Amino acid sequence: MEKMQSNGGEHVNAAYDPTLDEPPVYEVNGDSRAIRPSVVSAFGHDTLDRLPNIDFYRNAGSVSGHRAVRPSLQELHDVFQKNGAISVPDTVEDDGEGSDGTPSDDVELAVPLDSKGGAVKFGWIRGVLVRCMLNIWGVMLFIRLSWVFGQAGWGLGTVVIALSCVVTTITCLSMSAICTNGVVRGGGAYYLISRSLGPEFGGSIGLIFAFANAVAVAMYVVGFAETVVDLLKENNVLMVDPLNDIRIVGCITVVLLLGISVAGMEWEAKAQIVLLVILLAAIVNVFVGTFIPPTAEKKSQGIFNYDLNIFMENFPPDFRNGESFFSVFSIFFPAATGILAGANISGDLKDPQAAIPKGTLLAIVITAITYLGVALCVSASVVRDATGNLTDLITSEAPCVGSALAACELGYNFSSCAVETCKFGAMNNFQVMTMVSGFGPVIIAGTFSATLSSALASLVSAPKVFQALCKDNIYTALHFFAKGYGKNDEPIRGYILTFIISVAFILVGDLNAIAPIISNFFLASYALINFSCFHASYAKSPGWRPAYKYYNMWLSLLGALLCCGVMFVINWWAALITYALEILLYLYVTVKKPDVNWGSSTQAVTFVSAVSNALSLSGTEDHVKNFRPQILALTGAARSRPALLDLAHCFSKNYGLCLTCEVIVGPRSEALPEMNAGMEKNQQWLRKTKRKAFYSAVVCESYREGVETLLQASGLGRMKPNTLMVGFKTNWKISGAEEVQSYVGVLHDAFDFEYGTLILRMNQGLDVSHIVEAEEETLKSAKEQQALENEFMPNGGKAKGLFRKSRKSSQQVLTTRVSVCGPPPPQVAKMNEKLVQASAHFKTKQPKGTIDVWWLFDDGGLTLLLPYILTTRKKWKDCKLRIFIAGQPGRSDLDKEEMKSLLQKFRIKCTDIIVIDDIHLKPRNDSLKKLEDMIEPFRLHENTKESAQVEAMRKEHSWKITDEELDAFEEKTNLQVRLNELLRENSKTANLIVVSMPIARKETISDFLYMAWLDILTKDLPPIVLIRGNHKSVLTFYS
């Protein structure tokens, strides 16, 4: 984010006046608000420092209170000006922007309080406890529980309930820890997972979870409709046929439930209370019925009073029809999957942090006791098999044989059930609860209540979770459903979508096939909630401070593994489908990279892993086989020299370190704001343009000092740069002596610190900073113009219809008046165009051609290794290596064979090896003339002057090239000129030329002569890189 400099900006603090008791007032967008009462009483004197207060820690747009702005460090530390103005950085701007339209990194962002006053908020009983109990108490309680305990016996049946409770309880403990680690807003499971594990996990499970709730509405409604149709069938009042009657009743029911939901959360909560009362009456009815003496008809159907023999007979399992413990468990477990009903409406709770743990845990305990109590009562009073015949009594002609010994002792002979299937008993009749109860119709009403309450909870949960997901804009196509209506921000659009999905599944869906998938969707959410808790604990981030302490990271991991195991127990193919969908959505969100930062535990674990890996690397010595170039590129701002950055990125790619560095020269007080403003902006640009590099900047009084700091301090442990990469200073001839000395001094420093050194030269140049600045100025002017236009447009510039057209035309007009200075001259514009094209040279795929490597001096192999690395990159795969070496006349073939053998040992392929045996020849006169003209302005010419004058000139112009120096290094100077001739002769068509860099000995060769060497060597050539390694081997032929 761009930070404002210390002498300007929108946010102005009035200068502090010590005569006033009140603290300074911060003006934000014209609305003054005091930070906090005077602190004179606390410290005995007035001060700009503030006492700790919650308002300083709120995020922009907080719904729970106004955000206060604390004094910045600069305000307290900078030189005080009584009548001056001190700015507040943009980072504290309270712009009130919510998460509509853009992903939010603020847990408190929402619609402001004044527009949503009077919103209905629930406490932990109505909001969480009641909802969870109603969702957990499903039709299982009245229809299948007796069958589960008949198959498994009450011994293993108790284990089934206990195991289910273990999974849900561990999940609840994990959820409680996450809930109490900060403010919780709407979105339920999605919100908890996304803020803990990040948008990738949250976005994938959020969509799946919302869809599961929508389809669950259809499942529960069909269960209700089937019960209604059974009653219609008994009374011979079917409307069409059983299947179509189920559809008709189901659709009517969904419409009624939708009406209750759309009416508002208050009406929905009242409906839930009514359903809870009916459900409680049905449960009590079962317990009461077990104490009422059974009639003869009930006894013939296997229903008796409490009897120890029946209880013990029902203890062992009696699995039939291919059932097993796991199949019975898979049928029961979905009944326990209602624990998120309260969390799903977290945005409608008064205090989610307290309500969710308390209400959910208590709901699990109450429902577990209820399930177990009802099941044990039935197990103690109902036999497994009964004929239902009043005449099946014990007689001398029909002795009692088989397994139904408890019934025999009570005078009934059900031994025929051993050879034929009976219709009654806990194993055979799903209506056992109705027959056991004191009044059967109450059980039917309880069944209705259980299905309708679960359907209503799912119908509310799905839109709420979906709305939270859409508000974060992770899936941009779904943002239409983010809008809320009314005082409770009701997701009406989400309700309609949920209604359409549920009606569709009621009409055409095969619910028996889809039921296991839905159960697995819920379990996947539980698994990720558990994993979120484990992950956050494992990361040991200082920000992980849950108020709820009764959790354990390893227990949470166990819970996650149990959930994954149960998914396969319920249905293996449904589990695979769930995993596949989650992985696909995860990959989609990962590729899209939503621009959010929620401080997830994934970030924390990544940081911990990075530190751990860096520490483990530091304990290992570097080995030549593992050498890779770690580039420190002096690009200036990240956008200033894109060609230099792109080539550096080609060397490092994703496998090595690449630092793009900038030295900001100037007084620290003036340069620091510029550096701070550019840090995030430059790194963001690198991320957006997919350059895998880090931006680093330093402020120094001189350029060379800044580079020296970077060379010494950059990196971490073994992850330190080992190669300096700079652009060639093309304007050295018109720069001052100080600039040239600084540039050459940087190269000397790189050699001193044993860095490999690269210099890139392109004929068009590298620096596009002036073009970037002009572009930014254009965008800034465009924004200002758009802001002015928006003032005259309705809805703050969000125009529709005709307004949108006029807005487009205004942009066209804007381009004609955006340049204050007018268009550049044609010649300059053409140069800029060529410069922009050249700046993208290394970003695009290179055409077929060669990389010519002039490996003239052995520098450890860096001059050969870097071009080879380029050929392994996708952009350079069509480029072949050509190796040029210097050879002695008369032994070219021998030199070529030696180099070929060396390259084979290094396992580096090349298309050709060219031996240059005339490199020692003197360059042509016209080439020498070019060099002489180049250095003429910088020569001292002491041989033509008197000694006194020479001494004075040497003192005044110590940097100039002396005749003595030119004579001493004539051969080396001629070599650079000769090399340029050979390069133009042999490598004029190469895609890239790599040449061994000449070295200038310190305090021996003047800076301007060295620059002349580099200039004449690389002049009028394709893109060329001068490379000099640090003379330590980076290649080896040993395995």
Q: pLDDT tens digits for 884-894?
A: 999 888 888 89
Which stretch of 110-119, 808-817, 881-890 has the lowest confidence by average pLDDT? Answer: 808-817
What phi and psi, each to the nearest 5 degrees, are found at residue 138? -105, -165
Across the range 203-209, mean pLDDT stands at 86
716 has which bridge partners?
Answer: 719
Q: Is the pLDDT of residue 449 over 50?
A: yes
Which stretch of 155-164, 440-449, 702-711, 935-944 has the lowest confidence by average pLDDT? Answer: 935-944
Q: pLDDT tens digits for 895-909?
A: 999 999 999 999 999
Q: pLDDT tens digits for 814-873?
A: 333 334 445 567 767 777 777 888 788 888 889 999 999 999 999 889 999 999 999 999
Separation CA 181–CA 196 (nearest Å):
10
Residue 37 pLDDT level (bands cut at 50, 70, 90):
very low
Q: Is the pLDDT of residue 20 over 80?
A: no
Separation CA 449–CA 199 (nearest Å):
37
Secondary element (H or E) of residue 760: strand 756-761
For position 1002, what pLDDT does the model report?
Answer: 86
Residue with the bigger pLDDT between 952 and 1025: it is 1025
Residue with the bigger pLDDT between 108 and 178: it is 178
Residue 45 pLDDT level (bands cut at 50, 70, 90):
low
Residue with the bigger pLDDT between 786 and 558: it is 558
Pairing of strands 25-28, 31-34: antiparallel
Where residue 316 falls (left for φ over 0; alpha for ψ -120 to 50; beta otherwise) is beta
Tokens (6 digits) for 886: 């210097």
3-state SS record for 149-168: HHHHHHHHHHHHHHHHHHHH
| Total Cβ atoms within 10 A of residue 49 | 13
Residue 399 pLDDT level (bands cut at 50, 70, 90):
low
State the amino acid at position 21 in one-letter form. Answer: D
Strand order in the sheet with 992-996: 694-700, 658-665, 631-634, 723-727, 756-761, 1024-1028, 992-996, 849-854, 879-886, 912-916
Residue 212 three-state SS = helix
Rounded percentage of the chain residues whose pLDDT exceeds 90:
22
Query: Are the C-beta atoms of 705 and 738 separated by less than 8 Å?
Result: no
Across the range 665-694, mean pLDDT stands at 85
Across the range 207-233, mean pLDDT stands at 84
Separation CA 675–CA 637 (nearest Å):
10
Sign of the CA dihedral with 553 first, then 558, 561, and 566 last = negative
CA distances 377 to 145, 340, 437, 450, 737, Å, are 11, 29, 11, 20, 100
Q: pLDDT tens digits for 459-512?
A: 888 888 888 888 888 888 888 888 888 777 788 888 899 999 889 888 875 666
**Closest Cα to residue 308, out of 422, 385, 409, 402?**
409
Q: What are the strands, taking DSSP E only, across 887-920?
A: 912-916
Residue 110 pLDDT level (bands cut at 50, 70, 90):
very low
Sign of the CA dihedral with 89 first, then 93, 97, and 99 last = positive
Residue 945 pLDDT level (bands cut at 50, 70, 90):
confident
Separation CA 851–CA 908 (nearest Å):
13
| Total Cβ atoms within 10 A of residue 10 | 13
For position 39, what pLDDT does the model report?
Answer: 54
**What is the Cα gyration radius of the chain?**
40
**Closest Cα to residue 407, out of 385, 429, 389, 430?**
385
Which stretch of 243-257, 355-369, 513-527, 622-636 has the lowest confidence by average pLDDT? Answer: 513-527
Mean confidence (pLDDT) of the chain: 80
Tokens (6 digits) for 392: 């099946």
> Which residues have a Cβ under 8 Å from the Cβ of 983 and sit 6 or more positions away?
854, 993, 995, 1017, 1021, 1024
Q: Is the pLDDT of residue 684 over 90?
A: no
Across the range 195-219, mean pLDDT stands at 85
Across the range 29-43, mean pLDDT stands at 47
Across the range 380-391, mean pLDDT stands at 82
Q: Is the pLDDT of residue 650 over 60?
A: yes
Residue with the bigger pLDDT between 420 and 797: it is 420
Which stretch of 648-657, 722-731, 774-783 has the lowest confidence by average pLDDT? Answer: 774-783
Q: pLDDT tens digits for 966-1017?
A: 888 989 999 999 999 999 999 999 999 999 999 988 888 899 999 999 999 9
Q: Which residue has the tokens 């120096």?
A: 965
Separation CA 536–CA 560 (nearest Å):
14
CA distances 1033 to 858, 910, 994, 1029, Å, are 9, 20, 18, 9
665 has which bridge partners?
Answer: 700
Which stretch of 556-565, 714-723, 955-964, 993-1002 has the lowest confidence by average pLDDT? Answer: 955-964
Q: Is the pLDDT of residue 338 over 90?
A: no
Residue 414 pLDDT level (bands cut at 50, 70, 90):
confident
Residue 396 pLDDT level (bands cut at 50, 70, 90):
low
State the amino acid at position 716 in one-letter form. Answer: L
Q: pLDDT tens digits for 661-670?
A: 999 988 887 8
Q: Is the pLDDT of residue 96 over 60?
A: no
Residue with the bigger pLDDT between 81 and 496: it is 496
Sign of the CA dihedral with 708 first, then 712, 714, and 719 last = positive
For position 119, what pLDDT does the model report?
Answer: 63
DSSP-assigned states of every residue in 514-532: HHHHHHHHHHHHHHHHHHH
> Which residues have a Cβ under 8 Å from the Cβ of 81 and sit 6 or more positions away?
15
State the amino acid at position 540 in one-letter form. Answer: K
Residue with the bigger pLDDT between 25 and 407: it is 407
